[in-house]
Amino acid sequence: MRRLGAILYGNGLCFGMVAMSLRSFLERSAVPLAGLPPSPQVLGEIRRYHVRQYMPQPVVAAVIEWLRAEGGRPGGVPGRLRIVGSGSNPHLLCFGPTLNRKFFWCLRRAHAVAPYRVQNVAGETRVYVYDPNHPGDRERYVVFRRDESGRVGEFGYEGFETSSGWGISLFPLSAIGDTVQFRQRALP
């Protein structure tokens, strides 16, 4: 069972935490997720969200979005991004592989964040994110830099950078399908 957990959860539960947070926000949950202690019930719910990414529909959606991003290139990401509050189907931002020799290394260390605000600053676009590795830090953002022609040519976020072999793609929240709703039963 421990090996299965290592495969399913890898180095963390970022996808589950981000998906659960976005779903909770959209459903206007009365349960304040940020203030809950990491009880077995809460962690079980996060794991249920996290494991959904390995089901057929989410895998297909992830591959399609990765291909739309031309193998993880950042060029079209800011223009297609749907942030929470801007509609019914927000995206998760996923850092993962692009087509290069680091493909499997990056795939194993992939990370997900939730975008919530976009700001254009001279020559770049900043996408502010909720990162489950840094809860409460409201100054975290992914930067998309434009080249001399005005097109987005690279991105960077705390070690996940185009220049280091990383790719970035969008993942629509709706692709995880119906999830078990987070209710009072998850409270300690």
Are 90 and 82 spatial neighbours (Cβ–Cβ below 8 Å)? yes
The residue among 114, 103, 105, 98 whose CA lies nearest residue 155 is 98
Q: Let me know: does 37 contact 188? Beta carbons within 8 Å.
A: yes
CA distance 80 to 75: 10
Q: Which domain holds residue 147?
A: 2-186
Measured in whole angstroms, how far is the alpha carbon of residue 180 from the centre of its chain? 19
For residue 179, the model assigns a pLDDT of 57
Give residue 182's pLDDT.
Answer: 47
pLDDT at 131: 93
- Per the CB < 8 A criterion, the answer to whether 119 and 128 are in contact is yes
User: Residue 40, exposed/middle/buried by CB under 10 A (0-12, 13-18, 19+)?
Assistant: exposed
Residue 75 token pair: 């060029």
Instruction: List pLDDT tens digits, range 130-148.
Output: 998 898 888 999 999 988 8
Q: CA separation (Å) from 171 to 7, 18, 45, 182?
A: 20, 11, 20, 21
Cβ atoms of 33 and 185 within 8 Å: the answer is no
Query: Tokens representing 16?
Result: 């589950």
DSSP letters spanning 129-173: EE-TTSTT-TT-EEEEEE-TTS-EEEEEETTEEGGGTEEEEEEEG
The stretches in the chain having pLDDT less than 50 are: 1-9, 182-188
For 13, the token pair is 């539960």
CA 44/CA 39 separation, integer angstroms: 8
pLDDT at 178: 66
Helix (H, G, I), strand (E, B) or coil at 182: coil
Number of domains in the chain: 1
Closest C-alpha among 99, 157, 95 to residue 125? 157
Considering the entire predicted model, what is its pTM?
0.83
